[in-house]
DNA sequence: TCGGTCGCTACGAAAACCGTAGCGCGAGAT
DNA sequence: ATCTCGCGCTACGGTTTTCGTAGCGACCGA
């Protein structure tokens, strides 16, 4: 009840690792190669990126594609759940400045 | 254009730190004291929890309350955006097992 | 064969995180 | 006034994660 045995907490733990959310976000609108993904994420170190990719792949969220890496069907679903964060973040950016 | 100058990427960076999402999640249904929050998060070390709390406080997502820490109005909005993750995670948990 | 790009690994330095102990403070009881 | 208790939070040493850079082997077009 308190532990991460609940699915959502496992998910929160997975997403709460550096670059994971960002990778998901960048892959939302189409596949990217390893290097392109790396640059899209502002130049993460390849070791970390590879670790994240492996985790997401094992989680069934990301999969290999001809064009590089792509979100799976499940991953696309998850990506869409992340979408409203954009609107929220825009409103959020207008804090303490008016 | 590529960097985290875009609001959503700042947000993704904020949320992509260990325990941040979890803290948000645990605070969704009511305020918690520091120690209660700590236990709800499976016993995070207080130094890290304090850092996360400070970050979220500065971001205007979390605020001090009589009962401990509580989500701000904005924070509650963000918390609701996280809500569908629960349903997704449940479906996700039924992978590779049926 | 050569140049270019691909996914990915190696490895030392730096930063983040963990676990435990405990401080200073305010409230309630004696 | 003192004692006690739980509170938010800090200190600190050890472990893990992340970073930054360099580069390997494979593939492909010229």
Q: Could you tell me which residues come within 8 angstroms of residue A7 by beta carbon, excluding any fewer than 6 positions away?
A: B86, B89, B90, B92, B93
**Average pLDDT estimate for B20-29:** 97
Number of domains in chain A: 1
List, for residues B41-94, the tens digit of each pLDDT value: 999 999 999 999 999 999 999 999 999 999 999 999 999 999 999 999 999 999
DSSP state letter for A73: H
Contact in structure between B27 and B69 (CB atoms under 8 Å): yes
Give the span between the Cα atoms of A65 and A43, in whole angstroms.
Answer: 22
Does A22 contact B13 at a Cβ distance shorter than 8 Å?
yes
Position B66 in a domain: yes
Is residue B97 in a domain? Answer: no
Residues 6+ apart with CB under 8 A from B9: A22, A25, B3
B13: region left, alpha or beta (phi > 0 left; psi from -120 to 50 alpha): alpha
Cα–Cα dist B78/A18, whole Å: 19
- Is residue A17, in this structure, part of any structural domain at all? yes
| CATH number of the domain residue B53 falls in | 1.10.10.10
Structure tokens at A1: 């009840």
pLDDT confidence band for B4 (50 / 70 / 90): low
Classify residue A67: in a domain, yes or no.
yes
Q: CB distance from B48 to chain A under 8 Å?
A: no
Please check whether strand C approaches the CB of A47 to within 7 Å: yes
Judge whether A15 lies within some domain.
Answer: yes
Size of interface A-B (CB pairs under 8 A): 102
A59–chain B Cβ distance below 8 A for any pair? yes
State the nearest residue by CA to the C1' of D18.
A48
In a domain, B34, yes or no: yes
Q: Is the CB of A45 under 7 A from strand D?
A: yes
In a domain, A78, yes or no: yes
Which residue gives the smallest C-alpha to C1' distance to D19? A45
Q: Smallest Cα–Cα separation from A65: which of A36, A25, A22, A44?
A: A36
Q: What is the pLDDT of residue A96?
A: 58
In a domain, B95, yes or no: no
The residue segments making up the domain with residue B16 are: 7-88
- Does A97 have pLDDT greater than 80? no
């Amino acid at each position: 009840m308190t532990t991460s045995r609940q699915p959502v907490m496992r998910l929160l733990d997975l997403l709460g690792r550096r670059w994971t959310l960002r990778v998901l976000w960048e892959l939302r609108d189409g596949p990217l190669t390893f290097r392109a993904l790396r640059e899209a994420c502002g130049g993460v170190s390849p070791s970390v990126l590879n670790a994240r990719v492996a985790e997401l792949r094992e989680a069934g969220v990301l999969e290999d594609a001809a064009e590089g890496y792509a979100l799976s069907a499940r991953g696309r679903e998850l990506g869409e759940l992340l979408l409203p964060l954009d609107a929220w973040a825009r409103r959020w950016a207008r804090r303490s400045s008016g």
